[in-house]
Chain A
Amino acid sequence: MMGRYMLARAIGTVLMAVAVTLPTFLIIHLVPADPVQAQLGDLASADPEIVQAFRARWGLDRPVWEQYVIFLNGLAHGDLGISIATRRAVLDDIRDYAPATFELATAAAFLAVLVGLPLGVLAAIKRDTWIDHLARVVSLIGLSTPTFWLAFIVLALFYGGLKIAPSPGQLDPGAVPPERVTGLFLVDSLLVGDLETFRSALAHLILPASVLAASIIGIITRTTRAGMLEALNQDYIRVAHAKGLPSHTVVLRHALRNALIPVLTLGGLAYAQLLSGAVMTETIFSWPGLGRYAFESAVALDFPAILGITLLVALIYLIINLLVDLSYAIIDPRVARQ
């Protein structure tokens, strides 16, 4: 039963992700701009032979439908094509930039949950006290502060002013990245037992991750609070209290568990959003991630890269949704039985 469900969902996920590329493909071809012009220098753009070599190299001299078929054919063979801007396989580009984004987004999500969840629980059980107000202010500030501004302020304060944070980037200037296994600096440095690099990578990660976390702490706190308030008013909570269970058992095992479902749904979406790249944070912290790559590809009208990223982002959302759906069953056994 569960196996079949999983298989159906997995197939659906892949089909959906591929389907998303069609509208993207059509839209980018509607833009009245020529990627070859964006790539060629002024002098080269006037040389028909060079222009022709460029068009042929990316199949841009073929009809639009044929270009899409070529893309699909490549996709079926695990090939996303060659980026017009970077001249490398899109898959290589993604492989280079995705780990930095994954590391950053995951650290941010971890921090957001670490702060947001207890804050939400506390705000609910201490409703309308100063703690609740504080939680509301923290959420609002996080939600409404523009990330680029917060990123810069945090950098200026901790790096420029207090001098306790390291320079922007994943490691110190000139430092040698750990030998690539996963591409995640924290993991790779531990794999080779290089604690110095691990510590440096962690230190460089904290500021950008905190900035990104700030943008989603609000969602986590507010949803947790709302969920907890609803749960705490349920009859089974009163029953649990009446049975004489300790308060923490009531709050954590009975109330929080039920309050977690909406948190998981929205938190999952927020995580997916972080995984698809955060351009401003990456720019200010010189973080070699996907956000910047996606932005540059869009600006340059780099068709293969744009399609590759679209596919990736679609997959991220679909997979996270799938994971969220599956985890409902763990939190709430009733879901699994349905």
Chain B
Amino acid sequence: MLATRWRTRISLILFAVIPLLLATLSGIASTTGSTAAQDDALVLGLDISDTRTLDPHRQFDYSPPITEHAIYETLVTMEPGDYENVTPLLATSWELADDGAAWVFHLRPDVKFVSGNPMTAEDVKFSFERLVNLKDNPASLAENLKSTEVVDANTVKLVMNDKAQPLLNILISPNFAIVDSKTVQEQGGTSAAGADTADTATAWLDAHSAGTGPYQLDSWDRNSQIVLTANPNYWRAPASYPRVVLRHMSDSAAQLLALQRGDIDAALNLTPEQLDSVASDTNIKIEKGTSLDFIYVTLTSNAEQSEPLSNTAARQAVAAAIDYDGIIDGFLGGNATRPPTFIPVGLAGITPELTAEIGYHQDTEKAKQLLADAGLADGFSFDLYYANASVVGVSYQNIVQKIQADLAGVGITVNLMPTDQTQLITEYRAGHLPSVITFWNPDAPEPCLWASASVERVATRVGWTPPDSLLNTVTEACGSSDEAKRNELYGEYQRELVDLANYIILAQPIYRVATRTSISDYQLTAAGWQVNLYDIKPAS
């Protein structure tokens, strides 16, 4: 029906279009694709979709502190792997004053901000007061900070509300960043009462930085990238890389491809399987660091939520039925440790050996015996709530299925209750759920933060009223400056919590980051900022 001429023409069009597209793709791409990794810049591939602000006194998410720690500095800090000892940063020395009710910090002289303004005690006062008065998320960390007083230009005094409560270790958090008070005030910042409505500096701080860190913020394109450049006024030797790019890559498989191609120098969010898959690649190495985070299960004491779980022996039976090693080896490839209870390994003298001694381990005979003791020899059932989400690359779904199978072995039926994340948090914090599996990550490496949470707000969620004696032990431990004494008190606290079995810690992950061998000194830290960008150097 159709003329041959027309037929040929259409075929020609069709067969020209597809190769043309391919040719365009390769033509355009080949000129840009291979030049992507920039020699002078350090490029990290990570998910920065949780970066919502870079205002240090407001941010409270997981990825921003990497940036914050590079552009701002705190009075004191901690070295990767050591979360017991506080080391100098903007303060060179500090001591207790006023009979232990205040800390006095002596500031490093001759430190300048990016703007060139000198850093003084006034900046410390402004920063801490702004943090408190913004009443944003991190203000809760400054609970024990009563006032910040300027003693002289290089000395500042922090008065505590309660000298039995900790403050020093919390000051290492990037939320206690010292900002350039003159610059921030020029941009609408205020530290006065009412700052929560009066302060308008956040938009400026999202695009610029006003700190003393080794880097300054060059640009932040939301869900795209954060670019840092070296701070010309830095008080130490300049950073090894003049530029750092934090490249947003929300998909871990894309991170892996980019790392293999050399477009990024480090991939921060690979799954355990992906990390295993690059083990043999000679251009890639894997850096490890034990976190202070943990995955835990709660069991209620509240009979209204679950009659059987309110029986201590029944909860102990659950704890004795779980195959902890199976979870750590099976899902995390062995890359995790486990504390006895609510304070992680690495703090308060807690070690995996202590867990072996006083913590939970699988013992099905003991579990059955405990069930019999509880009058539940035929077993019982309860609802375990979990979020439709993943943690360290492992979906909660997989973990709860393993727990379900383990508990079935001793006659306990677990009903799996998948729940939306926001709904889970709401219901859990309101104390409405009999059993939850979720995640805890710290605000600052201060064991008291864990201990007091576990006997206060988290205790309410599991319907448990701690005895006064335990509350006293925790208070005493929190305020103790004698390390041996403190650790002994925390040991007492842990034994009591283990015995009650309201909290079962499943795994404390060892985080792994895959880097190109072209960079060195990538040290993971659990102190709150994942990695110290200043330390990273080109491999020699």
Contact = CB atoms under 8 A, between A and B. Distances in A.
Interface of A: 31-35, 37-47, 49-50, 53, 57, 85-88, 93, 96-97, 111, 114-115, 118-119, 121-122, 125-126, 152, 155-156, 158-160, 163-170, 172-174, 176-177, 199-200, 202-203, 206-207, 210, 241, 246-248, 251, 283-286, 288, 292-293, 296, 299-301
30 contacts: A32-B423, A33-B423, A41-B443, A43-B141, A46-B457, A49-B135, A50-B139, A86-B222, A88-B203, A118-B14, A122-B10, A122-B11, A165-B29, A169-B225, A169-B248, A172-B36, A172-B263, A173-B36, A199-B31, A203-B28, A203-B31, A207-B25, A248-B5, A248-B6, A284-B250, A286-B254, A288-B222, A293-B223, A299-B421, A300-B422
A114 B18 CA distance: 10
Nearest to A168: B254
* List of 10 A-B pairs having minimum Cβ-Cβ separation, nearest first: A33-B423, A288-B223, A247-B6, A44-B140, A160-B257, A203-B28, A174-B245, A33-B422, A38-B422, A43-B140
Given A39-B137, A44-B140, A159-B33, 20 more contacts: A33-B420, A38-B426, A42-B429, A44-B137, A46-B140, A47-B139, A49-B135, A86-B222, A87-B202, A111-B21, A158-B25, A172-B36, A206-B29, A210-B21, A247-B2, A248-B5, A251-B6, A283-B251, A286-B248, A288-B248
A240 B258 CA distance: 57
Contact of A118 (B17, B32, B141, B264): B17
Interface in B39-73: 41, 43, 49, 52-53, 58, 60
A175 to B, nearest CB: 9
B136 to A, nearest CB: 8
A53 B53 CA distance: 18
B221 A177 contact: yes
Interface string B229-241: 0000000000000
B538 to A, nearest CB: 16
Contacts of B443: 41, 43
Contacts of A173: 36-38, 41, 43, 225, 245, 247, 263-264
Contact of B247 (A169, A206, A210, A283): A169
Contacts, number: 223
B249 A168 contact: yes
B346 to A, nearest CB: 19
B12 to A, nearest CB: 10
Contacts of B138: 41, 44
Interface of B: 1-3, 5-7, 9-11, 13-14, 17-18, 21, 24-26, 28-38, 41, 43, 49, 52-53, 58, 60, 135-141, 143, 196, 202-203, 219, 221-225, 227, 243, 245, 247-251, 253-254, 257-258, 260-261, 263-264, 420-423, 425-427, 429, 440, 443, 449, 453, 456-457
B250 A166 contact: no
B254 A125 contact: no
A44 B251 CA distance: 30
Contact of B32 (A41, A53, A200): A200
A111 B443 CA distance: 49
B137 A41 contact: yes
Given A43-B449, A164-B25, A169 B224 contact: yes
B6 to A, nearest CB: 4
Given A118-B17, A283-B250, A87 B53 contact: yes
Contacts of B33: 159, 163-167, 203
Nearest to B134: A53
Contact of A170 (B18, B139, B224): B224
Contacts of A251: 2, 6
A122 B7 CA distance: 9
- Specify the main secondary structure of chain A where it touches its partner: helix
Nearest to A251: B6
Contacts of A200: 32
A37 B425 contact: yes
Contacts of A165: 25, 29, 33
Contacts of A203: 25, 28-29, 31-33
Contacts of A206: 21, 24-25, 28-29
A69 B306 CA distance: 42
A159 B33 CA distance: 8
Nearest to A197: B32
B247 A50 contact: no
A165 B258 CA distance: 11
A285 to B, nearest CB: 7
Contacts of B423: 31-33
A156 B251 contact: no
Contacts of B264: 167, 173
Contacts of A119: 14
A97 B32 contact: no
A173 B248 CA distance: 9
Contacts of A301: 422
B135 A50 contact: yes
Contacts of A114: 17
Contacts of A53: 135, 196
A59 to B, nearest CB: 14
A42 B35 CA distance: 44
Given A156-B257, A159-B257, A172-B36, A40 B247 contact: no
B71 to A, nearest CB: 17
A86 B206 CA distance: 11
Contacts of A246: 3, 6
Given A203-B29, A247-B2, A174 B254 contact: no
A165 B420 CA distance: 37
**Highest count of chain B CB atoms <10 Å: which of A31, A97, A122, A247:** A247
A166 B258 contact: no
B29 A167 contact: no
Most chain A CB inside 10 Å of its own CB: which residue of B52, B264, B456: B52
Contact of B254 (A45, A85, A285): A285
A176 B25 CA distance: 22
- Name, among A57, A167, A284, the residue most crowded by chain B CB atoms within 10 Å (CB to CB): A167
A285 B32 CA distance: 17
Nearest to B14: A118
Contact of A286 (B35, B250, B429): B250
A160 B254 CA distance: 9
B422 A37 contact: yes
Contacts of A44: 60, 137-140
A97 B14 CA distance: 35
Contact of A174 (B18, B203, B225): B225
Given A33-B426, A40-B137, A286 B249 contact: yes
